Amino acid sequence: MTSYASGTSDVPLLGDTIPANLIATAARFPDRDALVEFATGRRWTYAEFAADVDRVAHGLLARGVGKGDRVGVWAPNCAEWTLVQYATARVGAILVNINPAYRVSELKYVLNQAGVRMLVAAESFKTSDYRGMIDEVRPQCPALRDVVLIGVDFDDLRVDGDAAALDAIELSSDDPINIQYTSGTTGFPKGATLSHHNILNNGFFVGELCGYTETDRICIPVPFYHCFGMVMGNLAATSHGACMVIPAPAFDPVASLRACAEERCTSLYGVPTMFIAMLAELGELDLSSLRTGIMAGSPCPAEIMKQVIDRMGMTEVTICYGMTETSPVSTQTRADDTIDRRVGTVGRVHPHLEIKIVDPATGRTVPRGEPGEFCTRGYSVMLGYWDQPDKTAEAIDSARWMHTGDIAVMDADGYVQITGRIKDMVIRGGENIYPREIEEFLYTHPDVLDAQVIGVPDQRFGEELMAWIRMRPGTTPLTAESVREFCAGKLAHYKIPRYVHVVDEFPMTVTGKIRKVEMRAAAVEILGLE
């Protein structure tokens, strides 16, 4: 049996656009909560939210923004971000998500690469002076004609107008509506270009597998600039009439838990590192309303998943796997999957999609149980990288399969395990080693809070293993020797890390993904391997 699966469903794909879907939801549930900004207490019903979206859409038109124009949004999570997301879709403009962590050179690159006409931005946040950086790059960005600052002149974008003017704009569900820049851990980031059809359907089916209805309230501490926040969060909510709850502008474990308790959230999102932080702050909060949620972004340690279910009551929590270029979700566990399935796999193929696992060298589909590269095909695959046909051709083959670069194994029942990135795989003395397996084992050490394993250069074996470890508070830091003793007899000798480095935190992207490329560069210096 080959490692191929297709997702059947009795529920058809949605054929409408994002604004048409929102208008239909607001008509069905006008008085239900649509959006709550927990930090400020601002809240919108669906009728109020749809009306405010239209006001911002009229404001865009009044400033000359039309179908196909690019509108950048550069801000932490806030209600205005969400309003811009839906207002740009209403007029057919293409929303360009800009990472809040970007600095001057990255901002200039994205504004010019996408040809951004209008930029909606926060004035500042934490150590970022957005206004100052915009002033610095603006003369070098010829396409940029308009800047709107949230909290300064954003209300000027809210303009009353005739709905007929908006309804007259001809939109197709296949129009590009969103550009999301990939992390760019190597080289310049690439702009994954996504359509209404891509992201509306992906958000909808993520919500279907979480069992969402209009009674659900989703706490979204993950960033909106990424698919996790704006698709799996916002679009999953609005396509079901559920409520979007913004706990804080950026991830704050205490604010997230308080928002869940006080807003009676039924669902909570996060990457594993976020859940680790929240578990440490649980206290006496009443989280009895929590039912489900999503853990994604990087592999979930088994122990963390069990605690999320036992201590936070998220009995139906699901694991999602995907990438920006696929809108993002390709596989998801189901609410009735066993704990083992939820901690050991990333689930089965999503409805209406195809997946396969291929030999990276030959492109042939491998038998079930054998590792290879994960590929996916279907409605979720991006239109392409913005203005980079050569990069698009490298990622999407002639048969429209998206090649993810992830190593995966599919079992007899179609459940998929992600065992690493092709580029993260360590080859030590001819042995292929998948760091995930070693990380999972190190999590079983009672003093280990978190662990990441990388390959570092070695003259004899080509590569050697190094473990970066975060210790539980009040414990004695592990050494290479103590880790070796712990692993002896339980891991094959070549899988035992030769080097151990104890840290307070790992280098991360804004979405909570560990930057192993940065760790490898630092390790060469730490170990004197230049």
The domain that contains 101 carries what CATH number?
3.40.50.12780
- Helices (H) and strands (E) in the chain — how many of each? 17, 26
Residue 514's nearest CA partner among 297, 353, 301 is 297
Residue 4 within a domain: no
* Interaxial angle between packed helices 18-28 and 46-62, expressed in degrees from 0 to 180 and rounded to the nearest 10: 150
Residue 456's nearest CA partner among 430, 428, 481 is 428
Residues 122 and 245 in one domain: yes
Q: What would the pLDDT profile of 315-358 be if each residue is shown by its tens digit?
A: 999 999 999 999 999 999 999 999 889 888 999 999 999 999 99
Q: What would the pLDDT profile of 214-267 be if each residue is shown by its tens digit?
A: 999 999 999 999 999 999 999 999 999 999 999 999 999 999 999 999 999 999
| Whole-number Cα distances in Å, 222 to 173, 235, 462 | 26, 14, 38
Answer whether residue 19 shows pLDDT above 90.
yes
Answer whether residue 298 shows pLDDT above 80.
no
Residues 114 and 205 in one domain: yes
The listed range with the strongest mean pLDDT (81-95, 269-283, 418-432) is: 81-95
Structure confidence at residue 185 as a pLDDT band (50, 70, 90): very low
**pLDDT given at position 339:** 86
Query: What domain range includes position 261?
Result: 15-410
**pLDDT given at position 383:** 98
**pLDDT given at position 344:** 87
Once rounded to an integer, what is the mean pLDDT over residues 69-98? Answer: 98
Q: Which of 377, 410, 443 is the last residue of a domain?
A: 410
Once rounded to an integer, what is the mean pLDDT over residues 367-371? Answer: 96
Count of structural domains, the chain: 2
Longest CA–CA span in the chain (Å) reads 73
Residues 90 and 223 in one domain: yes
Q: What would the pLDDT profile of 411-442 be if each residue is shown by its tens digit?
A: 999 999 998 788 887 888 877 787 888 998 99
Residues 38 and 111 in one domain: yes
Of the chain, the percentage scoring pLDDT greater than 90 comes to: 84
Mean pLDDT score of the chain: 94
The pTM of the full predicted model, rounded to 2 decimals, is 0.86
